[in-house]
């Protein structure tokens, strides 16, 4: 067993090497990247800054290992995925602490991340037994048609910083279970939870060398090489729409399959006959869980004018009651934003929205923390008198910000909800489920949740968006289609007659 597998899973675990072909290796550049705890602003670890030659080595290892891995019996691949699930369950406390420290996730967020990752592993364990083909009769006498499902080859996974554990797992686990090998490039902000942690887990379980390879580094330095590598057959990316467009274009140069889950501008519609108590409960969770740093969180609250004032007042009261601060305090609900650039952008959206005529009901500023310079915690923010064109509503603010927009009838609500390039998720609270379903049918988005909020994910249910929210899909059989391909083999059992 390699030296690093014996070390801690915490931030003190010496995460200073890349994982390539089953070995922990030093980055060729010799350079490192600091990992910061967003709550304390302290550097808690250093990870290697890979260079392009490290990326090439990772793909060489993945390509070399792929055929043997695909030939591994399905029962064995299933067994290893199940062992991976058991290992992450055994390490759950250490992993949760790592999520809290590196990602800035509250206890709720860390627990949710673990639950979703475990759900993804449970679903992925079924993939080897679902790699089934088809048999079709032929129009040609004596011919037999067989369609086999095979692994695509090498899958590139570029994971995000907001939910790096489960959003990496939802691509890595099914890709590998299907017989592919993987090169994983985690976000620069969360290189441990989104990448090196996976290497350690895979090593502890005993996956064959080269099945998973992890390269950490700055996107500006190795991102293009990862996205456009000629040995990559599939590129699975989760992140912003502007970056996703660039990644998809780079992947397309090699005709690699692109699975892109990108940004969102999700609407939470509340009608005049909705259960306001339930709508507010859902709104608070959907806007403020993990500081709103969720692609499927509520970006806009669309509320009927007859209940608008009550809704704004009650949402404001709830927002002001949420504990905001360091996530090392177990009572904290709203923790820090991942970094200064994200924080400053969302606060600028708030300022621009107020300048455009909106009313700041609460928040709109940082929360000072003891012994922390330049706090990243943004107070839960509610904005009223907002229109769809204002910055906090038309952009994906990705923060603990709740712009509330009035509407007069259902037609206007649907028009407002659809007035965006995005189409990821959404939610509806109406008088009854049937009314909510009729509204949901009219929304141009990949997912809608009636009498709920938009932050939902279940590994056995399709997950994906439309428009600028991405292409392809995750979960259930959707991602299996992305990482496998069909091969038609015909067998001519009798001599065939040809016209010449």
Residues carrying an active site annotation: 261, 295
Q: Which residues contact 288 (CB under 8 A, 6 or more apart)?
A: 319, 322, 333, 334, 380, 400, 402
- For residue 276, report the phi and psi dihedrals to the nearest 5 degrees: -65, -35
CB 108 within 8 A of CB 96: no
Please choose, from the candidates 179, 176, 182, 129, the residue with its C-alpha nearest in 3D space to the C-alpha of residue 158.
182
Would you state the structure tokens that stand for residue 350, as one six-digit string? 């708030």
Angstrom distance (rounded) from CA 402 to CA 283: 9
Residue 202 vs residues 92, 143, 198, 212, 397: alpha-carbon distances, Å: 15, 44, 6, 8, 35
Angstrom distance (rounded) from CA 412 to CA 417: 9
Distance of CA 270 to the CA centre of its chain: 27
Residue 207 vs residues 82, 130, 135: alpha-carbon distances, Å: 12, 21, 33
- For residue 142, report the phi and psi dihedrals to the nearest 5 degrees: 75, 10
Burial 256-266 (b: 16+ CB within 10 A, else e): bbbbbbbbbbb
According to the 3-state scheme, what is the secondary structure of 43-64? EEEEEECCCHHHHHHHHHHHHH
Burial 108-142 (b: 16+ CB within 10 A, else e): bbbebbbebbbbbbebbbbbbeebeeeeeeeeeee
């Amino acid at each position: 067993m390699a030296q690093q597998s014996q070390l801690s899973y915490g931030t003190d675990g010496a995460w200073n090497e890349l994982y390539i072909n089953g070995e922990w290796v030093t980055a060729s550049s010799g350079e490192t990247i600091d990992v910061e705890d967003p709550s304390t602003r302290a550097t808690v670890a250093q990870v290697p800054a890979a260079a392009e030659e490290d990326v090439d080595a990772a793909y060489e290892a993945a390509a070399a290992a792929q055929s043997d891995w695909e030939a591994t019996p399905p029962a064995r691949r299933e067994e290893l995925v199940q062992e991976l699930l058991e290992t992450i369950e055994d390490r759950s406390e250490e992993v949760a602490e790592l999520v809290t420290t590196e990602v800035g996730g509250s206890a709720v967020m860390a627990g949710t991340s673990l639950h979703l990752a475990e759900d993804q592993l449970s679903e992925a364990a079924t993939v080897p037994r679902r790699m089934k083909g088809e048999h079709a009769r032929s129009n040609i006498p004596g011919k037999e048609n067989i369609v086999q499902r095979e692994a695509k080859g090498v899958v590139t996974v570029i994971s995000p910083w907001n939910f790096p554990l489960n959003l990496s797992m939802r691509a890595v686990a099914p890709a590998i279970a299907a017989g592919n090998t993987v090169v994983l490039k985690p976000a620069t902000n969360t290189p441990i939870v989104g990448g090196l942690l996976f290497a350690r887990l895979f090593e502890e379980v005993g996956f064959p060398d080269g099945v998973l390879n992890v390269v950490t580094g700055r996107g500006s330095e190795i991102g293009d090489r990862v996205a456009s590598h000629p040995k990559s057959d599939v590129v699975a990316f989760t992140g912003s729409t502007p970056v996703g467009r660039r990644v998809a274009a780079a992947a397309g140069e090699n005709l690699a399959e692109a699975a892109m889950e990108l940004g969102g501008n999700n609407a939470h519609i509340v009608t005049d006959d909705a259960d306001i108590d339930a709508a507010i409960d859902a709104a608070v969770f959907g806007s403020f869980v993990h500081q709103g740093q969720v692609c499927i969180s509520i970006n806009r609250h669309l509320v009927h004018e007859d209940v608008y004032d009550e809704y704004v007042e009650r949402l404001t009261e709830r927002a002001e009651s949420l504990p905001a601060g360091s996530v090392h305090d177990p009572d904290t609900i709203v923790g820090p934003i991942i970094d200064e650039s994200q924080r400053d952008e969302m606060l600028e959206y708030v300022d621009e929205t107020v300048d455009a005529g909106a009313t700041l009901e609460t928040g709109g500023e940082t929360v000072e923390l003891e012994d922390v310079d330049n706090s990243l915690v943004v107070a839960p923010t509610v904005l009223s008198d907002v229109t769809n064109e204002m910055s906090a509503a038309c952009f994906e603010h990705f923060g603990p910000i709740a712009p509330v927009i009035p509407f007069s009838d259902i037609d206007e609500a649907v028009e407002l909800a659809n007035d965006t390039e995005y189409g990821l998720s959404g939610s509806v609270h109406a008088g009854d489920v049937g009314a909510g379903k009729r509204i949901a049918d009219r929304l141009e988005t990949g997912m809608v949740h009636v009498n709920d909020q938009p932050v939902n994910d279940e590994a056995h249910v399709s997950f994906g968006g439309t428009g600028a929210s991405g292409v392809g899909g995750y979960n259930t059989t959707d991602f299996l289609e992305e990482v496998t391909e069909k091969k038609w083999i015909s067998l001519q059992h009798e001599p065939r007659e040809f016209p010449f």
